[in-house]
Amino acid sequence: MTSDQIRQVILDILGRIAPDEDLTDLDDARPFREQMELDSMDFLDIVMELRKMYRIQIPEEDYPNLNTMGGTVEYLLPRLKDVPVGA
């Protein structure tokens, strides 16, 4: 997967978790929690969706890497690089 494809996957997950949020102007450098009404359970839902969709394990100590869209994409890129699109 490419960075853009991973970004779209995260946007899709966020859209399901927070369907009332406007994700069109999401700033990749700002923490999700500053831009959206996400609580800790919503964040865990993101992690669980990634685990379910791609069988990727994200250790709790790595959670800070997922605070922003940019950080999430950067963290996931090497882990999902060999995953076919639409998998």
How far is Cα of residue 87 from the mean position of the Cα atoms in its chain? 16
pTM: predicted TM-score of the whole model, two decimal places: 0.89
- C-alpha–C-alpha distance, residues 3 and 80, integer Å: 10
Helix (H) or strand (E) holding 10: helix 3-17
- Domains of the chain, start order: 3-19+28-80 (1.10.1200.10)
* 2-53 pLDDT tens trace: 999 999 999 999 999 999 988 998 999 999 989 998 888 998 999 999 999 9
DSSP 8-state class, residue 68:
B
Model pLDDT for residues 42-85, shown as the tens digit of each residue: 989 999 999 999 999 999 999 999 999 999 999 999 999 888 77
pLDDT reported for residue 72: 96
DSSP state of 38: -
